[in-house]
Structure formats: C-alpha cells, structure tokens
Amino acid sequence: MVAFPLGFLLDLVTFDFESYVTLGITRILMAVLFLSLFFGISSGETMRDAYRALGIFFAILLTFQTMYQPLLEITDIFAVTNFAAAGYLLFPFLIVGCIAIFPLTVKEAVLTLVLFFVVQMLILILMPENADPHQRLGILLVLTVTGLLCTFAAISQLLYMSLLIDQASIDSLTRCYSRNSGEEIIDVQFKISKRQNMPFSLVFIDLDSFKSINDRYGHEAGDRVLANAAANIRRNARGSDVIVRWGGEEFVILLPNTDAKGALKSIRRLRNIGLGTRPDGKMVTASFGIVDRQDVNVGDWSALVDIADNQMYEAKSRGGNDIAVYRPTDDNGKDPEQEDLVAAG
C-alpha cells in the first residue's frame, strides 16, 4: 500500500502524460486493494481465508503487471537505459520472490508457482510483436529458475517453522503436548465447543503412587514408566483427541465432540489396555476425572480443567485406580445418571 504510490515521480519523468495518468490511477487502485486486504485478513480464522488472502495478494501484483505491460513498448530489453522502465522489467521477479515470504507446503507452493507462470506466459504475449522472441524465452527461463528457488525457500521455511513448533510444543519425554501449548489448544477447543454448542469432554489423569517409584527406583525408572504410560494413552486415543502432559505424572486428554459417556467408554478402554508396569512388575494405575463442557456452566477453559481435576481427586480419595465423572444434578440435588456412571470404577 505504501510502496505503490512511491513510483509517481519516476513515472512522471519517464512516460508521456496519458501513460502517466493511466499508471497513476492503476497505482492508486492497487494501493486501495492492498489496504482492503490488510484490513480484510484480520478477521480470517480458517485456512480457506488464508488461501483467499494469498490469492488476492498475488492477483493484485499480477494485475498491475498486466496493466502496465502494454505501456512499456519495449522491443529490446538490453536497450533499456531508463531507471523506471528497468524497474518495471524487474517487477515480475519481485512478484515471484514474494513466494519465498510465505511458509507453504509442497502442494501450495507448486500450485502458486504454476498459476504465476500461466499468467506470465499470457503477459509475455502482450509484449510488442516485434520484440525479440529469444528475449521472451530468456525472461521465462530466468523466471522459472527464480521461481523454483523461491518455492524451495517457501517449503524450507514451513519445515523449519514446524520443527521449531514441535520443539516448543511437544514434551520430549512423553511425546505429548506440553502444558503451554496444551492450554492454547484447550482454549481453542473450548471456544469452538461453546460457539457450536457441541460436547467437549476433558479427562484429568494422575498416575497413582508415582512418587514412590522415583523414591525407590530413581528418576530414570520413573521416566520410563511415564513414557510407557503416555505411549499407551496415545495408543488408545482417536485421531481427533489431544493429549497434554500437564505436569509431573499428570495428563489431560481433550475429546472434541464427545460427551461424558463417550469419554467414559474411552477411559474404560484405556484401563483395559493398561498403562504399563512399574519397576516391581505391578500394573501402573491412575485416577481419572471426567467432565463435559455441556454439563457445567463455566465461562472459560480453566474452570473446566479445575472441575476435572476435582473429579480426579475424588477418584483418588476412594483409593485410586478409579474414575469419577461430573454429572449435573436435578432440582432435588440427585444425579439421575449417577448409578450408571458409578459403575465405571
């Protein structure tokens, strides 16, 4: 938006008045479109919004190139001595260079590059008929090489960013999400569930008597038990479930679009699989607290976690190796489904 109007003075000393007016109007239009894009992307939340914004970004640049190309009337690029005209000739390289700005997947980067070259081939047709065809081919070849390098840079950028995110968000011992990244995911899932009025269950897990493993067998043995327990939790989880290492021997499982009964079935299945063995050969057990967002009246995700945590302590108070499910009560203070859920333990 800022850069496009800066070329007014160069156009004034380079082109005739009619061409200058045409380019000036075009520059103002491009600046307005970029300003609209700037404010428009702030409300985008989905990948579709991101793709749309990316497409508009390149469409604005390519539209400007398409509009100024017929005005140049350059038949020999090596004969260009004017600074402004040379800048217009280099503009396509600026456009293809913008691909490297964005972290793109292979599919996204290749598709962007292909669409760019389709437009470039159409634009080259707009060059004067007496323009050297070898120079046209040369421009296209150099753009191809530049585009491939920029595509590689975009893909590499995404790979590097994903590695950094993995290092920052994944707990190295358990391969579960760390607490910091887990809190962000819970916040997002909580808001989605609330906006769509869909169930969203949260399970709080605490391994029973874990401190005794560290005290008796050492922290390395405790780490092995934690890693095995986390592996079994992941093995039991669905693709949409999210597992977070909350701290120490505590885990949180997020089950989107799942009510308390569905979460209870999942935890029963997990208990059948088992959480591994302790160094003395005994089975690792845990206390589980389950809550569904639709069953509680809370305004934020942290309150939901607190309720699941309290349910876990309730299971722990019964001797551990148990499940406690939060259920809403009726007007008489009784839970109409409690008898079914108590049987979970």
Q: Tell me the one-letter amino acid at 235.
A: R
Q: What is the rounded distance in angstroms from the CA atom of residue 173 to the CA atom of residue 165?
A: 16
112 and 229 fall within a common domain: no
Based on the domain organization, do 306 and 334 belong to the same domain?
yes
Encoding tokens for residue 119?
Answer: 């437009």
Q: At what angle do helices 106-125 and 133-169 cross, to 10 degrees?
A: 160
Q: What is the pLDDT of residue 58?
A: 92
Residue type (1 letter), 90: L
- Note the pLDDT of residue 132: 66
Q: Do 63 and 165 have their domain in common?
A: yes
Residue by residue, pLDDT tens for the chain (345 residues) are: 888 888 888 788 777 888 888 888 888 999 999 999 988 887 777 888 889 999 999 999 998 888 887 777 655 555 566 667 777 888 889 999 999 999 999 999 999 999 998 888 887 776 666 566 777 778 888 888 999 999 999 999 999 998 888 778 899 899 999 999 999 999 999 999 999 999 999 999 999 999 999 999 999 999 999 999 999 999 999 999 999 999 999 999 999 999 999 999 999 999 999 999 999 999 999 999 999 999 998 989 999 999 999 999 999 999 999 999 998 864 434 444 444 444 444
Task: Determine, yes or no, domain membership for 23.
Answer: yes
- 240 in the same domain as 144: no
Whether residues 258 and 295 fall in one domain: yes
**Given 169, 204, 229, which residue is the final one in a domain?**
169
Q: Which two tokens stand for residue 167?
A: 């290092």
Q: Which domain holds residue 73?
A: 4-169
- Domain finish residue from 142, 169, 196: 169
pLDDT at 103: 93
The enclosing domain of 324 has a CATH number of 3.30.70.270
174 is a domain residue: no
pTM for the model stands at: 0.60
Spot the catalytic one: 45, 129, 184, 249.
Answer: 249
Given 107, 137, 169, the domain boundary residue is 169
How much is the pLDDT for 129?
63
Q: How far apart are CA 235 and CA 232, in angstroms?
A: 5
Q: At 297, is the secondary structure helix, strand, or coil?
A: coil
Would you say residue 42 lies in a domain?
yes
Total domain count, the chain: 2
**Alpha-carbon distances, residue 63 vs 72, 86, 99, 139, 210 (angstroms):** 15, 19, 16, 19, 64
Statement to judge: residues 314 and 235 lie in one domain:
yes
For residues 85 and 211, state if they share a domain. no
Longest distance between any two alpha carbons in the chain, whole Å: 92
How would you classify the pairing of strands 286-292 and 323-325? parallel
130 and 159 part of one domain: yes
249 is catalytic: yes
Is the four-CA dihedral 234, 235, 237, 239 of positive or negative sign? positive
Residue 194 lies in a domain: yes
